[in-house]
Amino acid sequence: MNARKSIVPRFRPLWGIAFSGTIIALCGCALSPLATRTAAFSTVATATVTQTTNAYQLVNQTYIDAQIATLVATYDRTPFDATKIKDFLPAKDVEVRTKILDGLKQYATLLAEVSGDKPITDLETQTKAAGDSLVKLQQDDFKGFKIDSTEKDLAVTALSAIGAVLIEHERSRALPGILDKANKPIQDICKILEDDIGTVGKAGLASELHLDYDTQILDQQRFIRENASSLSVDQRRIEIEKLPALVLAQHKSDEALAATSKSLAALASAHAALAATKTQKDAPAFKLELNELVQDAQTISGMYNSLSAKK
């Protein structure tokens, strides 16, 4: 008898980020209001981008798990063939997404640097390298994205603009200009990443992941049905108990990707609100947007940690 293992995604847990404490600490520094707000945004933006990276890892790992589950369930009637195990996202598509997310992280790092009172010069090489990677991306690099040709063109334009900002690596006196230059590209690329993730029932990674769980559930049901006569009462109960566990994992994964998509929209809104406060001493609208982004980041962190804790 070939007992099946529970199929769940596995990740490195996110860092425990004390968002509120970070923001409060920044407010006590001798920085301009805009610099203080920008530094706070940088901290939360970095966490949001990290969680988007986890979304792609979630899709890839679950897809691999689904294939392994199928091979296990069909082993008695189909010869084992390890070559059938494929990544959902090919290496090239993962590389493109990684370059985009690294670019966004470096942009957040750049904002932290130029908004502070001490330059972080050892990051200049990383920042420029990320910028160079972004400006080299072409439409063909986006073949594996779940977006249309218009959005692919928009992605190239947006990432080229963000890359240019990173390459220029301007200093704090140019902070308002950096925010202005990057704002539309940030809006565009966040929307493209949202569309790439999509929602259950529509084109995108979220729907693909949901369907993969459906496949795992059907395979488990078939395994129980076809092996009913050879399973003991206890063995049958163990196999049946895996079904609600898979349904719960599917639900949690759906929630995690939906929340990730929502956080990308919040990231774009917070950046737009930040750019609009260049001449403001107080910025209540930005604070609201940032608080929403903080809450989204904390929620998603809990979701991914919950998924990674299950074996």
**What integer pLDDT is reported at residue 117 of this predicted model?**
58
Condensed to tens digits (0 to 9), the pLDDT of residues 28-75 reads 445 688 888 988 898 899 888 888 888 888 888 888 887 887 787 777
* E strand or H helix at 167: helix 149-168
Lowest mean pLDDT among 87-91, 172-176, 200-204, 263-267: 172-176
**What integer pLDDT is reported at residue 184 of this predicted model?**
93
The answer, yes or no, to whether residue 294 has pLDDT greater than 80, is yes
Give the Cα separation of 102 and 138 in Å (integer): 17
**Residue 264 pLDDT level (bands cut at 50, 70, 90):** very high
Question: CA dist 197 to 78, 145, 205, 307, Å?
Answer: 33, 9, 5, 18
Give the Cα separation of 283 and 34 in Å (integer): 9
In sign, the C-alpha dihedral spanning 197, 203, 206, 209 is negative
Phi and psi based region of residue 80 (left: phi greater than 0; alpha: psi -120 to 50; beta: remaining): beta
**What integer pLDDT is reported at residue 233 of this predicted model?**
92
pLDDT: is 83 or 230 the higher one?
230
Q: What is the pTM of this model?
A: 0.79
Of residues 56, 4, 40, 13, the one with CA closest to residue 253: 56
**What integer pLDDT is reported at residue 243 of this predicted model?**
92
> Domain map of the chain by residue range?
31-309
